[in-house]
Amino acid sequence: MTVGPRPDVDEIVGAHDEERPARKLSPRWERALWIIGAGVALLVLKQVFLPFDQGNQYYLVIFLAVTLPLVFLSYRPGGRKAKEEDDPGVIDWVLSAITLVVALYPLLTGFDDFLDRQGQLSTVDVLAGAVLLLLILEATRRTTGLILPIICLVFLAYAYYGGFLPQSWAISHAGMNFDEIISALYDPSNGFYGTPLDVAATYIVLFTIYGAVLANSGAGNFFVDFSFALFRKSRTAPGRTTALSGFLLGTVSGSGTATTVTLGAITWPILKKAGYPKENAGGLLAASGIGAILSPPTLGAAAFIIAEYLETSYLTVLLWAIIPTLLYYLGIVFAVEADARRFGAHSVDVDTPKAWTVLVKGGYHFASLAIIVVFLALDIPPFSAVVYASGVAALFSLATKLFGSVKRAAVIAWLKELVDSLAEGIRGALPVIAVCAAAGVITSTITKTGLGQVLADALVKAANSLSDNPTVVLACTVVFCALAVCVLGLAVPVTASFIISWVVIGPALITLGVQPAETAMFIFYYAVLSEVTPPTALAAVAASAITGGAVIKTMWQTWKYTLPAFLVPLAFVLTDNGSALLMQGSFLDVVWVTAVSALGVAVLAVVTTGWLIGPTKLAVRILCVPAALLLLYLQPLSIAIGAGFAVAALVVHLILRNKDKEEIDSA
């Protein structure tokens, strides 16, 4: 498929992603880190099938000790701009060595003895913990910027100085001395080795390796080619192709911004030829890229943390995500259909084979995705299922290389590709590992001080100050929580945003009777959507760098495409019927709730695109606003009223349309 010259994907991702770009190493050091990364990957795989006898925390200590030093070797101390060759310096090597020692400290001094000292750490224990804390903050700064380390420091200061606050203040507490803070950070249920790092060391890193295996086997190119071949030459084909490609590419990329840029490099020339304005094309690219994080079967890193926090299977989380994902992309499709007509988009001749030909040639890439779902359904643990899926993807890649090639050369190329995937998987997971370790600092502080419940109570009290009606209180609390998650997500990565929001905002919703599953998915969606929320909207900024469109206009166009995703999560938590959107309830409940929500999304598309069997007047769009909101409230009375508004909007539109047509005919 020929689409013209493509921009430098790595450069744009590095400039606009929430994660800082890695160094461009010289061949010698690239090889060294390649070997180390592959070795760490083998350790991770060994833990899946032959776990350490000393227990999971023992493994987490080793995992952090062998991955955190790689951050200092792979990421520069400051600045986003990459040099041609940017090898680690003396300071980087010193920090890496110190990190290895202090991270292994619990094992070097005797792991059982260290566990016995929990709560009564020695001076050396505290010193080692303090140094490890500083190194984790520095690693987080290098990979994601200053904001998250600053937030960590604020929480640590609160833990230490909270005892000096006036006792009349709700956020005051007994106070923690420095030894107690470090001891809390070593707590196996929270802190450095808590759930976030546990998830990173099991689920996330294995799925990152799986994504690298798929990418190196050519799955990304197949998914895009298949999308182009499927829709062929209709005028809506470019927009549909972009949406479907974004969904499929999400299986090989855990980053919304990276998916956006990769997608834009391929599809922007097609959208441009089809007549899409730069800003609208950028909005479509960003919305499609972010949707990949929300979509099964891989989802984003926070989805694995949901499974751990709620002590449920990952397959269950995937099932929860299916209907919201369909509604998300349904909203994009409605907008694409409207845009194609409003802009007068036209078909583009793309040189691709027929869809069946593409599917026959590369359809095996879907096999590993299916294996993950099937194995999860058979109660095989997710970390085992993804290893098997990676193996299947690798074997298919070997088979394609052997077909029509010199056998020895094909096998050598395949082995190199496999080791590359192992190394890339580990190095690609480094930012998430640093974030998860830093997030443990925050969750530990919140848990030990009781701050989470205090802030949750404050949110509920703020809602109670507006009304004493339980429905209004819940609605106001939900809106406050959504805004809080979005604001937090503007400053920190999605994974950290979810973890912090879960311990602070989650209790507020649960206190008001919202079930944990609905609460977790609500927070997850808003944490992800913060990537397309003005004024930062990293995915939209990256998309505008591809298209050359105005940044602010691209942000608002992205918001237009993603508006249903901002409103559908509200339906999860506002009424009991909303749980059916997460496939909780009877089959009939799931069907009618999904149908009503789809109608609500369609009405929302009229509001955002200004199109309903032709251009709409302002009066029609105004009528559609209460129609969509009432439909998504998912209560019988509100649905009936919302449907009435929708019918009224349709009638008014037809009347005005016929009137305009008569005026044109008479003229």
- Interatomic CA distance for residues 660 and 658, integer angstroms: 5
In this prediction, residue 70 carries a pLDDT of 94
In this prediction, residue 3 carries a pLDDT of 45
Confidence band (pLDDT; 50, 70, 90) for 68? very high
In this prediction, residue 16 carries a pLDDT of 47
Higher pLDDT, 79 or 396: 396
pLDDT at 2 over 70: no
Look up residue 290 and give its amino acid. I
pLDDT at 79 over 90: no
Q: What is the DSSP string of 589-645?
A: HHHHHHHHHHHHHHHHHHHHH-BSSSB--HHHHHHHHHHHHHHTT--HHHHHHHHHH
- Interatomic CA distance for residues 14 and 22, integer angstroms: 8
Higher pLDDT, 491 or 311: 311
Q: How many helices (H) and strands (E) does the chain have?
A: 31, 0
pLDDT at 9 over 60: no
Higher pLDDT, 454 or 597: 597
Lowest mean pLDDT among 15-24, 47-56, 186-195, 493-502: 15-24
Confidence band (pLDDT; 50, 70, 90) for 15? very low
Higher pLDDT, 650 or 495: 650
pLDDT at 35 over 50: yes
Nearest to 581 by CA among 508, 517, 627, 645: 517
Residue given tokens 């090898």 in the structure block: 87
Confidence band (pLDDT; 50, 70, 90) for 410? confident
Average pLDDT (457-473) is: 85
At a CB cut-off of 8 Å and minimum separation 6, what does 476 contact? 462, 463, 466, 467
Lowest mean pLDDT among 17-21, 510-514, 621-625: 17-21
Average pLDDT (511-529) is: 89
Higher pLDDT, 84 or 654: 654
At a CB cut-off of 8 Å and minimum separation 6, what does 427 contact? 22, 33, 37, 70, 74
- Name the CA radius of gyration of the chain, rounded: 26
pLDDT at 132 over 50: yes
Higher pLDDT, 156 or 369: 156
Average pLDDT (176-192) is: 85
Backbone angles phi, psi at 615, to 5 degrees: -60, 145
Q: For 405-431, b where at least 16 C-beta lie within 10 A, e where not — what string?
A: eeeeebeeebeebbbbbbbbbbbbbbb
Confidence band (pLDDT; 50, 70, 90) for 313? confident
In this prediction, residue 83 carries a pLDDT of 54
Confidence band (pLDDT; 50, 70, 90) for 355? confident
In this prediction, residue 255 carries a pLDDT of 66
Please write the tens of the pLDDT for every residue from 543-591. 888 888 888 888 888 888 888 778 889 998 998 898 999 999 899 999 9
Percent of the chain predicted with pLDDT > 90: 21
Average pLDDT (273-301) is: 83
Nearest to 575 by CA among 520, 634, 629: 634
Q: What is the mean pLDDT of the chain?
A: 84
The pTM of this model reads 0.83
Q: What is the DSSP string of 45-58?
A: HHHHHS--TT-HHH
Confidence band (pLDDT; 50, 70, 90) for 452? confident
